Structure 1
């Protein structure tokens, strides 16, 4: 029976490449289905054997934990260096775009709740 190991929807290319390398380095016999262009099918990594699926899932769990730590460190470094941040960072970097997005959110919110306020 086939075992779905990981959904590939919204997975960055570098992460998918690293997972392919991980499976190939550990001789995991996997196959891959690509996600559809319109988001209907999810795509993913698959294996046929249940034992291989358990081994592959352990490898994926370790990889995901290490990747999360790496990405968190990069984010912390960028935050300390002032290359990324929250709303105030975005407001300083791109004020017009940020204010336009905030206004659009307020307009959508107002249009969404207006019918309930008039009851």
Structure 2
């Protein structure tokens, strides 16, 4: 019975490539399903053989722990060097989008509080 090893929804392409290389490097058979046209499925990496699932999951857990540590270290370096993305950098890159986002948030807050402002004075 096939086993889903990795759901590819919101997985960066470089991480998916590294996982594919990891599986191929350990001679683990897998196949890939692509995301659906309507976005219902994000695609995935599947193992056709249950007997390889435990080994593949162990290798994947080790890889993800190493990747997580590497990403945290890179993030800390980016923050220390002032290269990390921030709200201010997002505003500078696309001020119209940032302003529209703030206005949208304010609109939603206003709509959410209107019933309490007008209908609780009974």
Fold shared by both chains (TM-score > 0.5): yes
Q: What is the CA distance between 1:96 and its match in structure 2?
A: 3.3
Following superposition, the deviation at residue 42 of structure 1 comes to 2.7
C-alpha RMSD over aligned residues: 2.0
The farther-off stretch of 99-108 and 16-25 is 99-108
Query: Which ranges of structure 1 fall in alignment gaps of 5 or more residues?
Result: none
Name the structure 1 match of 2:13. 13
Q: Any residues of structure 2 matched to 1:1-119 within 5 Å, and which?
A: 1-88=1-88, 90=90, 93-94=92-93, 96-97=95-96, 98-119=98-119
* Equivalent residues, number: 118
TM-score calculated relative to the size of structure 1: 0.85
Please tell me whether Structure 1 or Structure 2 has the larger radius of gyration of its CA atoms: 2
* Aligned mates of 1:20, 1:32 — CA distance in 2: 9
Deviation at 1:79, TM superposition (A): 0.4
- What are structure 2's unaligned runs of at least 5 residues? none
